[in-house]
């Protein structure tokens, strides 16, 4: 069990004793945009423990009337729960919906959290009273030391969405989708887990003082756009594409190939053969990379490629036939043949005999 007593030193707070209550929050409406959601929980089930997808690493968060609160709200210990039903990438986010907070208790979103061998995590938490005097704090807990990275007094109301994202060494705090601060810290680099925390700030609260609901966690892994996309018309019905590989935090899993704005296939390499096309037709191509977590890069700049003309549209000539020759003299040899239909030799010719002679003088 961890309790916290804060000694503020040089603007930071030293945690002599710390405790966090991570309460999972759920999300009924996803408003985070493109980053893929990896897990969510609305706690829409009977009162009691959080369930098998969650691991409680301190105190006792429980479900009460479809939200999460703390049982032992007066012991000065937080209740921390992390979502352990999946492996989290290093870059991820956690979002909770705030329902209640007092000066003694509140709730927080946590990222890169673990308890091996001790609790460490980044977290953003709200303490009340809710309204224009609420306080948001971004902090970290590493090797039993609590340090505040940012804090602000602002308006937070019941139903507001509190978000914390971590990407590399950058931490981003949002409220209702609006970024409040971006901070840099390199203390915690292991992926850990996303989750949440019902904070018991000073042991002076009661059950229900801090309440969260609608939790969601997702992936913030970055992935670059494929570059140098080129194409060659191999025939009247095939165009071969190639491009320079993308890079991704979680590793590139493959590429989506688009023709005229519609996805036509995927490739595990940096090449793709598009077949079954029409002759003498212009096609626009673009490529996007994706990783195993479902992150997708923006599309590459489109390129236009024209297929070759159909063989049936080209004029194919047959060779002359009935080629004969005769020696006229010691210095002349005459050759004659039947010309192909449609060939013009100075004037239109049909099938017929054409004569050429060659003379030589000694």
CA angle 70, 93, 289 (to 5 degrees): 155
Query: Can you tell me the distance from the alpha carbon of 101 to that of 123, in angstroms, rounded to the nearest whole number?
Result: 16
C-beta separation of 299 from 258 below 8 A: yes
Q: How far is residue 39's CA from residue 229's CA, in Å, rounded to a whole number?
A: 35
Domains defined for the chain, CATH in brackets: 5-219 (2.60.120.560), 227-313 (2.60.40.10), 321-355 (no CATH)
What's the rounded mean pLDDT across residues 59-81?
Answer: 85
What share of the chain has pLDDT > 90, as a percent?
Answer: 58
Supply the pLDDT for residue 291: 85
pLDDT at 1: 43
**CA terminus-to-terminus distance, the chain:** 118
Q: What's the pLDDT at 47?
A: 94
In this prediction, residues 201-207 reach a mean pLDDT of 72
Q: How many CA atoms lie within 13 A of 313 on its CB side?
A: 7
Coil vs helix vs strand at 226: coil
Tell me how crowded residue 4 is: count the other CB atoms within 10 A of its CB: 23
* Count of helix runs (H) and strand runs (E) in the chain: 0, 27
Mean pLDDT for 173-193 is 95
For residue range 85-131, what is the model confidence (pLDDT) as tens digits? 999 989 999 999 999 999 888 999 999 999 988 899 999 999 989 99
- Mean pLDDT score of the chain, rounded to an integer? 83
What does the pLDDT read at residue 13? 33
Report CA-CA distances (Å) from 312 to 129, 164, 280, 308: 80, 63, 12, 12
Q: pTM of the full predicted structure?
A: 0.64
**Which residues does residue 178 pair with via DSSP β-bridges, in sequence order?**
175
What percentage of the chain exceeds 70 in pLDDT?
Answer: 81
CB of 209 within 8 A of CB of 237? no
Residue 30 has pLDDT above 90, yes or no: no
Name the least confident of 18-22, 114-118, 202-206.
Answer: 18-22
Mean pLDDT of 292-319: 81
């Amino acid at each position: 069990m961890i309790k916290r007593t804060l000694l503020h030193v040089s603007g930071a707070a030293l945690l002599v004793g710390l405790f966090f209550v991570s309460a999972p929050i759920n999300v009924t409406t996803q408003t985070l945009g493109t980053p893929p959601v990896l897990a969510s929980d609305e706690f829409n089930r009977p009162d009691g423990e959080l369930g098998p997808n969650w691991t409680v690493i301190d105190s006792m968060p429980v479900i009460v009337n479809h939200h999460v609160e703390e049982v032992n709200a007066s012991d000065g210990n937080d209740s921390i729960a992390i979502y352990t039903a999946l492996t989290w990438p290093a870059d991820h986010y956690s979002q909770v919906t705030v329902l209640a907070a007092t000066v003694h208790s509140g709730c927080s979103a946590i990222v890169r959290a673990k308890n091996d061998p001790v609790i460490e995590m980044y977290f953003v938490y709200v303490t009340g009273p809710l309204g224009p005097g609420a306080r948001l704090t971004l902090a970290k807990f590493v090797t039993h030391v609590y340090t505040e990275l940012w804090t602000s007094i602002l308006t937070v109301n019941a139903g507001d969405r509190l978000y914390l994202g971590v990407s590399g060494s950058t931490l981003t705090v949002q409220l209702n989708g609006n970024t409040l601060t971006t901070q840099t810290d390199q203390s915690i680099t292991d992926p850990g887990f996303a989750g949440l925390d019902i904070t018991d700030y000073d042991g002076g609260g009661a059950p229900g003082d801090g309440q969260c609901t609608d939790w969601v966690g997702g992936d913030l892994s970055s992935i670059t756009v494929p570059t140098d996309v080129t194409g060659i018309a191999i025939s009247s019905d095939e165009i071969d594409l190639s491009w320079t590989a993308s890079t991704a935090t979680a590793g590139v899993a493959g590429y989506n190939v688009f023709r005229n704005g519609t996805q036509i296939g995927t490739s595990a390499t940096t090449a793709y053969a598009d077949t079954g096309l029409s002759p003498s037709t212009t096609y626009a191509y673009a490529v996007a990379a994706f990783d195993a977590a479902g992150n997708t890069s923006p599309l590459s700049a489109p390129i236009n490629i024209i297929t070759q003309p159909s063989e049936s549209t080209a004029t194919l000539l047959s060779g002359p036939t009935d080629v004969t020759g005769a020696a006229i003299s010691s210095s002349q040899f005459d050759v004659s043949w039947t010309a192909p239909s449609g060939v013009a030799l100075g004037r239109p010719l049909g099938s017929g005999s054409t004569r050429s002679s060659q003379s030589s003088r000694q």
